[in-house]
Chains A and B, each alone.
Chain A
C-alpha cells in the first residue's frame, strides 16, 4: 500500500493542472450556494442553519460528482496510460483506491470552499455547530458514494460521456428510491417492509438524518460499505478487462 501515496498525489495534481478543475469548483460553489439562496429562499426560512444548504446536495451531486469522476479510468483507457499503470508493480486495488481518494479529496476541497456559508449563518444567528459538522460529514460521505459509482462506470468505458450519463442515471435511481413521493407510491404497491427495504438502499434515506444533525452509525456504515462495494466492483471490472 506504500504505492498508494504517489498515485494519489499524481491524480490530485492532475486535477489542478487542468482549467476544468477551477471551472468545476466555481460551478460547484455557485450551484450549492445558489440553490440555497434562490430555490431554498434562505432568508425567508428565518433559520440560522445549513439544513437548506444540504437539502439540495443529493440533487446537485447528480451532475457535479459524475463530472469529477468520469475521467478517472476512461481517460487512462483512452490515452493508453493504463498500460503503464497496470504493468507497474502495484495491485489493482491500490490503483483503484488511489484514484478514488484523489477524486474524493478534490470534491472535499470544493466542499470546504463553501465555508462562507458557515460564516454567513454564524453572522446571522446562533447556529448549532454540531449540526453543521454533521451536515458536512454527511454530504462528504454521500459525495463519496456518488463518486464510487462514477469510478465504476468509468472503468467500463473509454468514453467519458457514457461514463457520465450512466453514473448520473444510477445515482438518480438511488436518490429517487428514498424520495417521499416515490416511497408513498411504493407503500401502495408493496407490503410496507418491501417498500422500506427498497427505500433503505437510497442515498436520500441515509443522508436525511445526518443532514439534520443525527449521526447514526448505520448511515455512516451504509455510505462506507457502499463505497467499498463499488470500488471492489471496479477492481473486478478492471480484472476482467485483463482477461478478455
Chain B
C-alpha cells in the first residue's frame, strides 16, 4: 500500500532523513519509534506530500507523491504532530469545512461529520470554538478531520500526545479497531504504546532505520530476552549469587540487594538467548530455596531502544 524508496531529505547542511526504505501493507499498523529529531515527522511529511523529498520517492496506493500528489492526498488522513486546526471555528464547522474541501456536500457531508464526531467522542464539545478546548479535545478534533473521508491510509504523528491515560486508551482502541480496513503509520516515543498498538515497528535514529520488526522481535533483541528473575527474602541470600552462576546456561547474574522488608532480586542472563527457566526451577528445588516470585523476561524494548539509538552508551 505504501512503498517508501530511498527517501532523503536535507535542510541546508542537516540531513534529517538519510535513505529510508520500507513498505507497509494493508492491515498493518506500523510504528515509527525514535528519539526526538530522528526524522520521524519529516518522513511523514514527505509521505503526505507536505514536504518534497531531496531524493527518493514514495508511492501510496500506486500513486507517486511527486507525479501525482493530489491522488496521494485523497487517500491519506493525516494528523500532524501539533494537531493544528482553525481556532476560531467550532468543532462542527471545522469538520464541515474539511469535509467540503474533500468534496462532500449536503446530507453526505453532515453524515460524515456526525460519524467522525462519534468515532472520536467529540459530541459534547461539537458547538464549542476550538480555541476554548483543552489539548486532548483539540488533538481529537484534528484526529476527527483525518477520518472524515474514511481514507485507506492513516498517517498519525504522535496521536496520543497530550492525552490523559483514559483518552490514550480510547484512541489506541480506535486505532486498533481500524486496523483491518486500513494501512496505518503512527509515530510515538512511548514504547508501551508501540507494544500495545503496532503490528510492526521501525526504530529510526539520525535519519536511518536501525531496527525493523514486530514488538516481540524487537524485545528478543534485548539481553533480557529469556532472562530469569527471582525474588528471594534477604535472609536466604547467603552465597546465593555464586550458586546461581553455576546453573547450566547462565552467563551472568545481576543482583539487587534487598532489605528487611523488601526481597532481593537476582536476574540470570542466559547464553545466547536460550531458555533457562527449567534449569533454574530445578536448581531452586534441589537446593530448597524459597522464592517469592520467579519469572522469565520477554525482553525489554526500552533497553533495546536505548542501545541502538545511542550506541556510545552501549554498556
B102 contacts which chain A residues (CB < 8 A)?
A: 88-89
* Interchain CA distance A5-B101 in the complex, whole Å: 9
User: Which segment, of B83-91, B216-224, B239-247, B258-266, faces chain A?
Assistant: B83-91
* Interchain CA distance A90-B70 in the complex, whole Å: 7
A10 contacts which chain B residues (CB < 8 A)?
A: 86, 89, 97
Assuming the contacts A14-B88, A14-B89, A242-B50, asked whether A84 and B78 have C-beta atoms less than 8 A apart, the reply is yes
Determine whether the beta carbon of A83 is less than 8 Å from that of B88.
Answer: no
Determine whether the beta carbon of A242 is less than 8 Å from that of B84.
Answer: no
Determine whether the beta carbon of B87 is less than 8 Å from that of A79.
Answer: yes
In chain B, residues 84-119, which have Cβ atoms closer than 8 Å to a Cβ of chain A?
84-89, 97-98, 100-103
Number of interface residues of B (CB under 8 A): 29
In chain B, residues 111-167, which have Cβ atoms closer than 8 Å to a Cβ of chain A?
142, 145
Q: Residue on A with the closest CB to B51?
A: A242
A90 contacts which chain B residues (CB < 8 A)?
A: 70, 101
Q: Does A7 contact B (CB under 8 A)?
A: yes
Determine whether the beta carbon of A80 is less than 8 Å from that of B80.
Answer: yes
Q: Does A229 contact B (CB under 8 A)?
A: no
Q: Does A41 contact B (CB under 8 A)?
A: no
Query: In the complex, which of the residues B45, B51, B84, B142 has the most CB atoms of chain A within 10 Å of its own CB atom?
Result: B84
Determine whether the beta carbon of B84 is less than 8 Å from that of A91.
Answer: no
Assuming the contacts A14-B89, A242-B52, A244-B11, asked whether A84 and B80 have C-beta atoms less than 8 A apart, the reply is yes
1/0 contact trace for A81-94 toward B, CB 8 Å?
10110111111000
Assuming the contacts A80-B82, A89-B73, A91-B70, asked whether A243 and B101 have C-beta atoms less than 8 A apart, the reply is no
Residue in contact with A87 in the complex, picked from B52, B76, B85, B87, CB distance below 8 Å: B76
* Interchain CA distance A42-B172 in the complex, whole Å: 69
* Interchain CA distance A238-B142 in the complex, whole Å: 23
A88 contacts which chain B residues (CB < 8 A)?
A: 73, 98, 101-102
Distance (whole angstroms) from the CB of A241 to the closest CB of chain B: 9
A6 contacts which chain B residues (CB < 8 A)?
A: 97, 100-101
Determine whether the beta carbon of B145 is less than 8 Å from that of A84.
Answer: yes
A17 contacts which chain B residues (CB < 8 A)?
A: 88-89
A86 contacts which chain B residues (CB < 8 A)?
A: 49-50
B43 contacts which chain A residues (CB < 8 A)?
A: none
Determine whether the beta carbon of B50 is less than 8 Å from that of A89.
Answer: no
* Interchain CA distance A197-B184 in the complex, whole Å: 59
Determine whether the beta carbon of B78 is less than 8 Å from that of A87.
Answer: yes
Distance (whole angstroms) from the CB of B108 to the closest CB of chain A: 14
Distance (whole angstroms) from the CB of B213 to the closest CB of chain A: 29
Distance (whole angstroms) from the CB of A151 to the closest CB of chain B: 18
Determine whether the beta carbon of B86 is less than 8 Å from that of A83.
Answer: no
Distance (whole angstroms) from the CB of A119 to the closest CB of chain B: 34
B103 contacts which chain A residues (CB < 8 A)?
A: 2-3
* Interchain CA distance A131-B30 in the complex, whole Å: 67
Q: Does B74 contact A (CB under 8 A)?
A: yes
* Interchain CA distance A15-B101 in the complex, whole Å: 19
Q: Does B48 contact A (CB under 8 A)?
A: yes
* Interchain CA distance A5-B98 in the complex, whole Å: 12
In chain A, residues 11-29, which have Cβ atoms closer than 8 Å to a Cβ of chain B?
13-14, 17-18
Determine whether the beta carbon of A81 is less than 8 Å from that of B101.
Answer: no
Determine whether the beta carbon of A84 is less than 8 Å from that of B70.
Answer: no
Determine whether the beta carbon of B73 is less than 8 Å from that of A83.
Answer: no
Residue in contact with B48 in the complex, picked from A87, A91, A243, A244, CB distance below 8 Å: A87
B11 contacts which chain A residues (CB < 8 A)?
A: 244
* Interchain CA distance A110-B206 in the complex, whole Å: 52
Determine whether the beta carbon of A87 is less than 8 Å from that of B50.
Answer: yes
Q: Residue on B with the closest CB to A17?
A: B88
Determine whether the beta carbon of A79 is less than 8 Å from that of B100.
Answer: no
Listed in ascending order, the chain A residues whose CB lies under 8 Å from chain B are 2-3, 5-7, 10, 13-14, 17-18, 79-81, 83-84, 86-91, 242-244
In the complex, 6 of the A-B residue pairs with CB atoms within 8 angstroms, ordered by the A residue number, are A17-B88, A87-B78, A89-B74, A89-B102, A243-B52, A244-B11
Q: What are the 8 tightest A-B residue pairs by CB atom distance, in nearest-first order?
A: A80-B84, A6-B100, A17-B88, A89-B73, A89-B74, A87-B48, A80-B82, A83-B80
Listed in ascending order, the chain B residues whose CB lies under 8 Å from chain A are 11, 45, 48-52, 70-71, 73-74, 76, 78, 80, 82, 84-89, 97-98, 100-103, 142, 145
| Known A14-B88, A83-B80, A89-B73; further 14 A-B contacts with Cβ < 8 A | A3-B101, A10-B97, A13-B89, A17-B88, A17-B89, A79-B86, A80-B80, A81-B84, A81-B85, A83-B82, A84-B145, A86-B50, A89-B71, A89-B74
